[in-house]
Structure 1
Amino acid sequence: MLKQSELFGEHVAEHHAIPQAYPGAERIDNGEFGNNRFDQIYRTPDGRYVVVEAKGSARASLGERTSYRGNRVQQGTREYFETILHQMSKRSKTKNDPVEAELASNLRAALKEGKVDYVLVKADATPDGRYAGYKKYQFDI
């Protein structure tokens, strides 16, 4: 059930929340799932980046992890964001992936320039599990 909820949240973010909130935004991540990565990354027509944490339930809580500095951080914080960038750079070296290295570098530069929207999308479902809507929250990083 957990994987289905995760997939539902991803679907709602990609097909409903982002197109409505950021018309014309293009998904630029590789679509892989797992730890040490953002759920989704988009580029808007005006050059901003939209980084999404997608949840499959309106009741889902934010995740936590150990940061690259060694302390606990929660999704939606600047240190969490920087920790994922660190992991992206590390993974790009391990996998010899210049595309991911460039994406991490571009996100780091955009963050410094204030050109990143870091958002949480929480899917809302009807009792039978069908799409009912979503809520989008903007993190202040």
Structure 2
Amino acid sequence: MRLSVVIPAYNEEKNIQFLLRSLKKIIEIDEIIVVDDGSRDRTGELAEKEGVKVIPLKKNYGKGYACFEGFKESRGEVVLFLDADIKFKKEDILALIAPIFNNEADMTVAGFNKFSGKTKGGFGMVKNFARIGLFLFTGIYFH
């Protein structure tokens, strides 16, 4: 299976190159797409310098829209969505995709530390929203 990584990015010039350079070291990744969500800094320019596909949006539409635009352009059978301001170990990414590649799961979700040092953000809300949606569609409560 081919793996595409989609990164919605808004004003992430301080983080984007480090993230992309780290991702390019993971041979399991076939494609990296940065969706520059109307950034007012050099996010898109710096991503292009790293040789990845960049989708520039004329204005900031938000993370969900940016993710969908990247998804539409992705070529992989598996799509990994990553925030532009995360830090991770290669093993983290491999652990996230292994259940999918091993046909043990259709989807995985993980939380990583942010470059900014913040420990809280919208992830709790996202998890709860996803949990409700999954319950409504499957009748199964996920932890």
Give TM-score, length-normalised by structure 2: 0.32
User: Structure 1 length normalisation: TM-score?
Assistant: 0.32
